Amino acid sequence: MDVYVLKNKREASQKAFELIKQEMDKGAKTLGLATGSTPEDLYDIMTNSHVDFSDMTSVNLDEYVGLTPEDPQSYAYFMEKHLFSKKPFKQTYVPNGLADEAEETERYNQIIKDNPIDLQILGIGTNGHIGFNEPGTSFETKTSKVALTDSTIESNKVYFDHEEDVPRFAYSMGIQSIMESKKIILMAFGENKADVIQKMVEGPVTEDVPASVLQKHPHVVVIVDEEAGALLNK
Ligand code: GLP
pLDDT tens per residue, range 177-206? 999 999 999 999 999 999 999 999 999 999
Which of 35, 120, 169 has most ligand 1 atoms within 8 Å of its beta carbon, as the pocket-test mutant? 35
For the cut 90, the answer to whether the pLDDT of residue 234 exceeds it is no
- Work out the burial of residue 96: count CB atoms within 10 Å of its CB; fewer than 13 is exposed, 13-18 middle, 19 or more buried: middle
For the cut 80, the answer to whether the pLDDT of residue 108 exceeds it is yes
CB neighbour burial string for 214-226, b if at least 16 within 10 angstroms, e if fewer: beebeebbbbbbe
pLDDT of residue 79: 98
Q: Is the CB of 125 under 6 A from ligand 1?
A: yes
Query: Average pLDDT of the chain?
Result: 97
* Catalytic (active site) residue 129: yes
The Cα 190–Cα 193 span in angstroms is 6
For the cut 80, the answer to whether the pLDDT of residue 156 exceeds it is yes
Hey, is 176 helix, strand or coil? helix
Query: 87 alpha carbon to ligand 1 midpoint, in Å?
Result: 22
pLDDT over 70 percentage in the chain? 100
C-beta of residue 35 within 8 angstroms of C-beta of residue 61: yes
Q: Whole-prediction pTM value? A: 0.96
- Quick one: how far is CA 53 from the chain centroid? 19
User: Among the atoms of ligand 1, which is closest to the Cα of residue 172?
Assistant: 8
Confidence band (pLDDT; 50, 70, 90) for 86?
very high
CB neighbour burial string for 140-160, b if at least 16 within 10 angstroms, e if fewer: ebbbbebebbeebbebbeeee
- Write the residue with the smallest CA distance to atom 12 of ligand 1: 36
For the cut 90, the answer to whether the pLDDT of residue 114 exceeds it is yes
Mean pLDDT of 32-56: 97
pLDDT of residue 144: 97
The Cα 77–Cα 96 span in angstroms is 12
